Structure 1
């Protein structure tokens, strides 16, 4: 579950890092990305600041909706072992959908930044692509491996969700042979 927390807080931190210059200094952002130095128009300033504010609140929503910050007022509710991404978990009912949407966001931003880097050659875009791509990779890992608890068989001790295709599961086969020997 540590990777899940790292993804949640890393995603919020990355969004905050991108939002801060958009809100505070749209002139510097325009100067860095534009070939000619000029003052931003009121429309450019509005879009820059509104995008920054949107990114701030998206980061906050990711942290809150994944259950990384407990939103209960009772101490007994917060003494459980931790946050899970199970749909039945009352502390984080929207963890998996929020995780999926934030993964899709980071994937789209990584692709967009890479495409802009290829057309413009500016290093700011490749840095954005690397940051968003790294978070997208961790988000995919969380979706695949941290979003449900394993179903362990009482008899064999193996995960029930695995199959023998395309390779045989020799560990499971040996456990079955041992059990057959005990039954007879």
Structure 2
């Protein structure tokens, strides 16, 4: 699950990197983005700082809701349903939805930055697109492959997501079945 944690902490780092200049010095950012040299208005500074705080908050929420930071005081805890969660299980109750929303955010930001780069030719948009594309790809990989709990058959031990089309995997299924019969 190292990739899962990389996405979580990478997202928080990327959003913090974007948020710091907006919160610390919105005047410089607004002056760099403005076509003419002028002092930024109060409302522009307000929106820049608000966006910076929102990005920082989003990064913290992604780290907390994906379960990267344990929010309990004990390593092993039994819930009301009798299910035991352990420190080795990186899943929190909201991990997959948070991962999906974070991935959609990065994909949208990557698309927006690429569209701006193709119209303006500014390399800062290309760098933003590259960073968001990498995080969107990692998030997509985590959605597809890192959330595979509960998909192993108890009878055969085979993966339930496999298909018989276009080729049948008789060897793997029979090998697992033979191991299951021997253990009884």
TM class, shorter-chain normalised?
A: 0.7 to 0.9
> Judging changes above 3 Å, is the alpha-carbon distance between structure 1 residues 6 and 49 closer, same or farther for their aligned structure 2 residues?
same
Structure 1 residue 137: Cα displacement: 0.4
Q: Does 1:117 align with 2:117?
A: yes
Partner deviation per Cα, 1:66-115 (whole Å, 9 max, x = no partner):
111111123544x9342333xxxxxx111111111111111110001111
Partner deviation per Cα, 1:25-83 (whole Å, 9 max, x = no partner):
11221232223222111111111000000001000100111111111123544x93423
**Aligned alpha-carbon RMSD (Å):** 2.5
Structure 1 residue 151: Cα displacement: 3.1
Q: Is the 8 A contact 2:158 2:176 kept in 1?
A: no
Task: Give ranges in structure 2 of 5+ residues lacking alignment.
Answer: 78-84
* C-alpha distance in 1 between matches for 2:117 and 2:74: 49
Structure 1 residue 166: Cα displacement: 2.4
Aligned to 1:13: 13
Aligned to 2:88: 82
Aligned to 2:63: 63
Q: Is the 8 A contact 1:27 1:40 kept in 2?
A: yes
* C-alpha distance in 2 between matches for 1:15 and 1:36: 28
Aligned to 2:101: 101
> Judging changes above 3 Å, is the alpha-carbon distance between structure 1 residues 169 and 150 closer, same or farther for their aligned structure 2 residues?
farther
Q: Is the 8 A contact 1:156 1:172 kept in 2?
A: no
Normalised to the residue count of structure 1, the TM-score between the two structures is: 0.84
Aligned to 1:144: 144
Please identify, of 22-31 and 120-129, the stretch whose mean Cα deviation from structure 2 is larger: 22-31
How many residues end up aligned between the 2 structures?
Answer: 174
Normalised to the residue count of structure 2, the TM-score between the two structures is: 0.84
* C-alpha distance in 2 between matches for 1:176 and 1:109: 44
* C-alpha distance in 2 between matches for 1:111 and 1:159: 35
Task: Give ranges in structure 1 of 5+ residues lacking alignment.
Answer: 86-91
Q: Is the 8 A contact 1:68 1:83 kept in 2?
A: no
* C-alpha distance in 2 between matches for 1:151 and 1:171: 19
